[in-house]
């Protein structure tokens, strides 16, 4: 059997928690609880598969529109997860980083994020990028702002600007996304990692995030293996 190629950077839009709970006559928050368990399981699995970078969409800049009860529940869930769920990822020697705006998040959440990043900053076995209060357009606009400041301050010249240096001004200097997975049957990007997704292979599944498991992850990787990545070129026969 031919050996499977594993994508270097996998990004996941973890969607469908609310519907999963509502299908069971439960509150949406019950789905988020289950979704957190799924993330724990999948984050462990991914690094065992030798995938080096995992980015997950945990909370978008648009998610503040939801009821306070749901937002508060999610913030508490993040706190719990940072303090407990991701111990296993830390043990695997994975570096945890965060992408997103620091505005609107409570000091408690920000402190927990800082602690996680600090504790894992020298880890070399993989990168776990958690996107909280994240918007792809914000990330690009913020990078443009920082570049302008550096030009005005004389640190760089306008002619220094190119796609790879632009990448360094994003929330984190990450490699391009190879495989983007979105659960729950929605076929959109919802303002997720726009810059990094330029040549990502897309994988959409109807499975709701709380039901996503190792087997579903394998299916996504198998699908990735069937793709012919041409990057605009022509494949030689
Ligand atoms: C994804 O599930 C989790 C977050 C956006 C935080 P949803 O809460 O969006 O679930 P649905 O899409 O309403 O089912
Ligand atoms: C995207 O899901 C954000 C996260 C998974 C955190 P949403 O449920 O917020 O996206 P839309 O509203 O369906 O586009
Ligand atoms: Mg949703």
What is the residue extent of each domain of the chain? Answer: 9-135+175-225
Does 1 score more than 70 pLDDT? no
pLDDT tens by residue, 185-233: 999 999 999 999 999 999 999 999 999 999 999 999 999 999 999 999 9
CB-based contact 223:37 (threshold 8 Å): no
pLDDT tens by residue, 122-139: 999 999 999 999 999 999
Q: At what angle do helices 68-80 and 28-48 cross, to 10 degrees?
A: 30
Q: Is 15 a catalytic residue?
A: yes
Q: Is 107 a catalytic residue?
A: no
Distance in Å, CA 166 to ligand 3 centroid: 30
Its pTM stands at: 0.97
CATH number of 9-135+175-225: 3.40.1180.10
Q: Whose CA is nearest to atom 3 of ligand 2?
A: 60
CA distance linking residue 30 with residue 231, whole number of Å: 41
């Amino acid at each position: 059997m031919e050996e499977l190629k594993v994508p270097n950077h996998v990004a996941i839009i973890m969607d469908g928690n609310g519907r999963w709970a509502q299908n069971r006559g439960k509150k949406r928050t019950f789905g988020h609880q289950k979704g957190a368990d799924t993330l724990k399981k999948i984050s462990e699995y991914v690094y065992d598969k030798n995938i080096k970078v995992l980015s997950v969409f945990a909370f978008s800049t648009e998610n503040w529109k939801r009821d306070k009860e749901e937002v508060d529940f999610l913030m508490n869930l993040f706190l719990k997860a940072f303090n407990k769920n991701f111990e296993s990822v830390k043990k695997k020697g994975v570096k945890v980083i965060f992408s997103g705006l620091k505005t609107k998040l409570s000091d408690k959440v920000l402190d927990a994020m800082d602690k996680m990043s600090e504790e894992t900053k020298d880890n070399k076995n993989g990168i776990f990028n958690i996107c909280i209060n994240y918007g792809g357009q914000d990330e690009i606009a913020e990078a443009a702002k920082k570049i302008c400041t550096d030009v005005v301050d004389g640190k760089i010249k306008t002619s220094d600007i190119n796609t790879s240096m632009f990448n360094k001004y994003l929330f984190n200097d990450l490699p391009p996304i190879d495989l983007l997975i979105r659960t729950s049957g929605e076929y959109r990007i919802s303002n997720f990692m726009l810059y990094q997704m330029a040549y990502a292979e897309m994988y959409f599944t109807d499975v709701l995030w709380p039901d996503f498991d190792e087997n579903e992850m394998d299916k996504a990787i198998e699908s990735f293996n069937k793709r012919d990545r041409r990057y605009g070129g022509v494949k030689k026969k």
